[in-house]
Amino acid sequence: ARPPRRVDSHASAAPDMAPVRTIAVIIAMEAEAAPLVEHLKLVKARESPLPGPIPALVFSGDVHGAKVHVVTNGKSAAFGVDCVGTVPASLTAYGICLALKPDILVNAGTAGGFKAMGGAIGDVYLASAFKNHDRRIPIPGFDTYAIGAVDAFPTPALRAAMGFKDGVVSTGNSLDAPEVDLASLKANDASVKEMEAAGIAHTAELFGVPFVAVKAITDIVDGDQPTADEFMENLGAAAKALQGAVPKVIEFVAGKELSAL
């Protein structure tokens, strides 16, 4: 994996020395975001500040001296459900980077874990890297492009302070995990399986925006219970876990220089 580049035009000459004043948190589903929005007492924007027809919802407020935006992907007008997956997440991240110009971008959400990697329901992970497990292009050069490995922004102090689990977050556009995906997940050394982070990482890298991800485990990929049932059963509890974890991350990050994270 490679570290994210800082190439954004709005960055200062010495971005690592500037204090973090704007934090954007991108969350796919409204049910995942609602407890956090309520806890932080954020206010929904009457009109989205994001460009174009992106259906994302933006909730904003001042938290620990920083401007915090929690952004969900919004609902599909055609199907009436949350816009999940890499395409909506990448579009939302693109709009965030253009319009809100965050000093750091955080992806918070629910995910699957693995017994084989020591994962359990309710665990919270701080991603070490991002990869794709459902993009298979067996042509030299395109094979590594398909995996698209990107390191999370280095945050050793944050990791030490939070005590979250550490691991690779692997992204695919399906909730289930057929054998071909399981093989890719194993090859990716994945501790977390979810549906957005690698797409957001790609966009954050284009803008040079530091990117981290906090994931709460709702289901065990290599367990015995059907994934969809286990996910729905534990969604509320995982959202509550995020409500506890993400404010701690915001409090730690706000006002610090990036190099101090």
> How far apart are alpha carbons 63 and 194 in whole angstroms?
28
Of the residues 30, 32, 82, 134, only one is catalytic, namely 32
> How far apart are alpha carbons 211 and 213 in whole angstroms?
7
Concerning whether 257 is annotated as a catalytic residue, the answer is no
Spatial neighbors of 204 by CB under 8 A, at least 6 apart, are: 4, 93, 97, 105, 210, 211
93 contacts 200 by C-beta, under 8 angstroms: yes
Helix axes 30-40 and 227-253, enclosed angle (nearest 10): 30
Of the residues 194, 219, 229, 251, only one is catalytic, namely 219
Query: What is the three-class DSSP state of 125?
Result: strand
Concerning whether 143 is annotated as a catalytic residue, the answer is no
Residues that are catalytic = 32, 219
